[in-house]
């Protein structure tokens, strides 16, 4: 607490230690100034326990789903064994559970043929999920409404009802949002390219890991909706709920579509995403990401 003592007043520190509610507006002008400096210098990151995303774990490579999309038994890894010894339940770094019920065929959900660009929409959605998980350091449950809002803000497909027709179009919007004033404190383009790596990594094991991600995204949105219903004073409630409903419908359709795709589809998509990332790193497409 020595570092916090140098930034916050004794009264504020005691409030933090007592577990009482506190937000940025409770700080004095001087405390706000010191706090902003601490954020900019990276000092605060030393106080936060690092989080390992579930898609980086070896167990993410051994997910086995049945023909109907439900999970089959899978071999336990050393990582899972060590976490089970802790006696804890599902942790943010563990593989998210898949749907409890069977995934219906896409044709039963929509009357028309699926868009030929759904794989690019998927890249957009995956990016927004990984961004939100990293923004909240794996603890999105601490702010269900906020995490839902972030997903809708970063994804053009879920938040703006856009339908990108190329990987470049899908990633450009996500990277622009990452570099926007709202989120640029997170790391800007460097973070964005790291998130593109996250997308590639989730694709690597195949469709089963993607279904886990999309299922977890559904739960994220549902948790936000549940809290939103309890907060009757929130001005943008109706707008967020409308987008959340669209998000759930779109997420279910894509999850069912993913389940129907052949395994080799994901290695091909990962290669396209990797190539676009190299263009950004090499300087191509860079102006759009700097906005």
At 202, give phi and psi (nearest 5°): -70, -35
Q: Which of 23-37, 151-165, 268-282 has the lowest mean pLDDT?
A: 23-37
Contacts of 183 (CB under 8 A, 6+ apart): 135, 154, 177
Q: Do 187 and 73 share a structural domain?
A: yes
User: What's the gap between Cα 86 and its chain centre?
Assistant: 26
Q: Are residues 34 and 58 in the same domain?
A: no
Residue 256 has pLDDT above 70, yes or no: yes
130 and 60 within one domain: yes
pTM of the model: 0.77
68-82, 121-135, 256-270: least confident range? 68-82
% of the chain residues with pLDDT over 90? 33
Locate 192 and state its tokens. 């964005």
d(CA 55, CA 53): 5
Q: For residue 134, what are its two tokens?
A: 């990293």
Please work out, in degrees rounded to the nearest 5, the angle formed at the alpha carbon of residue 30 by the alpha carbons of 25 and 33: 80
For the chain, first and last CA: distance in Å? Answer: 38
pLDDT of residue 156: 94
Percentage of the chain surpassing pLDDT 70? Answer: 76
Regarding whether 24 and 145 lie in a shared domain, the answer is no
26 and 68 part of one domain: no
pLDDT tier for residue 193 given thresholds of 50, 70 and 90:
very high
Residue 272 above 50 pLDDT? yes
pLDDT at 132 over 90: yes
Angle at CA of residue 259, ends 254 and 262, nearest 5°: 115
Instruction: Mark whether 184 and 42 lie in a shared domain.
Output: no
Could you tell me if 21 and 83 lie in one domain?
Answer: no
228 with 190, same domain?
A: yes
Q: Cα separation of 93 and 84, whole Å?
A: 12
Domain count, the chain: 2
- Residue 112 — pLDDT band, cuts 50, 70, 90? confident
Residue 65, strand partner residues: 71
In this prediction, residue 70 carries a pLDDT of: 60
Helix (H, G, I), strand (E, B) or coil at 270: helix
Sign of the Cα torsion 224, 94, 132, 257 reads: negative
Is 158 in the same domain as 192? yes
Q: Are residues 137 and 264 in the same domain?
A: yes
> Taking each helix axis from N to C terminus, what angle separates 144-154 and 237-260, rounded to the nearest 10 degrees?
70
Model confidence at 290, pLDDT cuts 50, 70, 90, reads: very low
Question: Using CA atoms, how far apart are residues 265 and 244, in angstroms rounded to an integer?
Answer: 28
CA-based nearest residue to 224, from 180, 158, 161, 157: 158
Total residue count of the chain as it appears in this document: 291
Kindly compute the dihedral angle of the four CA atoms of residues 129, 269, 201, 60, in this order, to the nearest 10 degrees. Answer: 90
Residue 187's domain comprises 53-289
pLDDT tens-digit map of 66-106: 666 565 544 444 544 444 444 334 455 588 887 778 888 98
Looking at per-residue pLDDT, the higher value among 1 and 162 belongs to 162
Residue 3 pLDDT greater than 60, yes or no: no
Tell me the per-residue pLDDT of 7-54, one tens digit each, with 9 for 90 and over.
677 787 777 777 667 776 777 888 777 776 766 565 666 666 778 899
pLDDT value at residue 124 = 97
Measure the CA–CA gap between 22 and 9, rounded to whole angstroms.
13
Q: What is the pLDDT of residue 46?
A: 64
Residues 6 or more apart in contact with residue 188 via CB below 8 angstroms: 178, 179
- Do both 145 and 166 map to the same domain? yes
Contact 57, 79 (CB under 8 A): yes
Among the listed ranges 36-40, 111-115, 128-132, 199-203, which one has the minimum average pLDDT value? 36-40
Q: Are 148 and 223 in contact (CB under 8 A)?
A: yes
**pLDDT 10s digits, 61-76:** 887 776 665 655 444 4
Computed over every residue of the chain, the mean pLDDT equals 80
pLDDT score of 168 more than 60: yes
Based on the domain organization, do 41 and 94 belong to the same domain?
no
């Amino acid at each position: 607490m020595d570092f916090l003592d140098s930034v916050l007043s004794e009264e504020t520190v005691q409030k933090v230690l007592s577990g009482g509610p506190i937000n940025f507006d409770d700080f004095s002008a001087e405390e706000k100034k010191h706090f902003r400096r601490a954020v900019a210098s990276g000092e605060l990151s030393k106080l936060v326990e690092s989080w390992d995303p579930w898609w980086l774990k070896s167990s993410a490579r051994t997910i086995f789903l049945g023909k109907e999309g439900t999970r089959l038994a899978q071999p336990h890894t050393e990582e899972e064994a060590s976490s089970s010894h802790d006696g804890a339940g599902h942790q943010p770094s563990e593989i998210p559970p898949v749907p409890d019920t069977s995934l219906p065929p896409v044709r039963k959900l929509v009357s028309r043929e699926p868009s030929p660009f759904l794989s690019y929409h998927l890249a957009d959605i995956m990016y927004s999920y990984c961004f939100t998980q990293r923004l909240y350091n794996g603890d999105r449950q601490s702010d269900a409404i906020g995490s839902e809002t972030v997903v809708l803000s970063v994804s053009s497909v879920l938040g703006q009802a856009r339908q990108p027709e190329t990987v470049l179009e899908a990633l450009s919007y996500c990277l622009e949002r990452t570099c926007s004033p709202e989120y640029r404190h997170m790391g800007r383009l460097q973070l964005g390219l790291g998130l593109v790596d996250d997308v590639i990594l989730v694709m690597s094991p195949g469709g089963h890991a993607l279904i886990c991600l999309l299922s977890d995204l559904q739960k994220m949105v549902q948790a936000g909706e549940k809290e939103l219903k309890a907060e009757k004073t929130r001005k943008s409630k109706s707008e967020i709920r409308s987008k959340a409903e669209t998000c759930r419908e779109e997420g279910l359709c894509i999850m069912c579509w993913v389940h129907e795709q052949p395994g080799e589809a994901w290695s091909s998509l990962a290669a396209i995403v990797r190539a676009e990332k190299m263009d950004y790193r090499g300087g191509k497409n860079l102006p759009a990401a700097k906005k």
